[in-house]
């Protein structure tokens, strides 16, 4: 009987760790900014127009036509904070649709990861891989952690391009991207209904 109980506990633990679905985390605040918040753009400089893909990787200028149709003909643009260029916001009519932060130190990454694990109800999914460059010896080492539901994606990652024999950098900086499709759809619908 004890063996059956132990096996049952191990099975439950395995399912909890590897089969857990994330909870919708609610509206998250990152460095004082929330998706759906209206901002004063005098504190920012415009970076450029694009239809934002909502993901940290996988999007290039070459596949912009494959992005969702919901972004078509919307005046979406990227704005960077003048006092801290690591903060970039994707805005539609001065309303935040996406938050991107660059150059995050390890301590802040760990603090964010802990907060996200609590909000989503589980650790983020880890993905680390190497990307070889066909015409040169450089390799890009990717390290990504993703919390994702059908309604929200939050990803923290870094990429480090170096020669295979180069040492791993000691001061690694991280980037994050955060999008909430529920709030984003409300922003887009409100803009189109005006």
**Short-list 184, 179, 169, CA closest to 56:** 179
Interval 136-182: pLDDT, tens: 888 888 899 999 999 999 999 988 888 888 888 888 899 999 999 99
pLDDT of residue 64: 55
- Report d(CA 105, CA 138) in Å as an integer: 24
DSSP 8-state symbol, 38: B
- Report d(CA 134, CA 131) in Å as an integer: 9
Interval 73-91: pLDDT, tens: 888 888 999 999 999 999 9
The count of other CB atoms within 10 Å of the CB of residue 105 is 12
The answer to whether residues 43 and 82 touch, using CB atoms and an 8 Å cutoff, is yes
**Short-list 21, 10, 26, CA closest to 115:** 26
DSSP 8-state symbol, 22: P
The answer to whether residues 186 and 151 touch, using CB atoms and an 8 Å cutoff, is no
By three-state DSSP, how is residue 90 classified? strand
pTM attached to this predicted model: 0.80
Q: What is the mean pLDDT of residues 56-84?
A: 71
The tokens of 127 are what?
Answer: 């993905």
């Amino acid at each position: 009987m004890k063996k059956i109980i132990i096996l049952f506990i191990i099975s439950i633990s395995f399912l909890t760790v590897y089969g857990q679905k994330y909870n919708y985390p609610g509206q998250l605040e990152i460095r004082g900014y929330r998706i759906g918040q209206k901002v004063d753009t005098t504190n920012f400089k415009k970076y450029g127009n694009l239809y934002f893909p909502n993901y940290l990787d996988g999007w290039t200028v070459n596949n912009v036509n494959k992005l969702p149709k919901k972004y078509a003909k919307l005046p979406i643009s990227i704005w960077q904070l003048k006092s801290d260029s690591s903060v970039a916001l994707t805005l539609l009519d001065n309303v935040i649709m996406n938050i991107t932060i660059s150059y995050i130190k390890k301590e802040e990454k760990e603090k964010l990861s802990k907060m996200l694990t609590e909000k989503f109800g589980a650790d983020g999914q880890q993905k680390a891989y190497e990307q070889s460059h066909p015409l040169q010896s450089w390799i890009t080492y990717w390290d990504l952690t993703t919390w994702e539901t059908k309604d929200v994606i939050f990803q923290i990652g870094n990429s480090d391009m170096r020669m295979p024999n180069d040492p791993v950098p000691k001061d690694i900086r991280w980037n994050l991207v955060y999008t909430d499709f529920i709030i984003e759809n409300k922003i887009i619908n409100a803009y189109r209904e005006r």
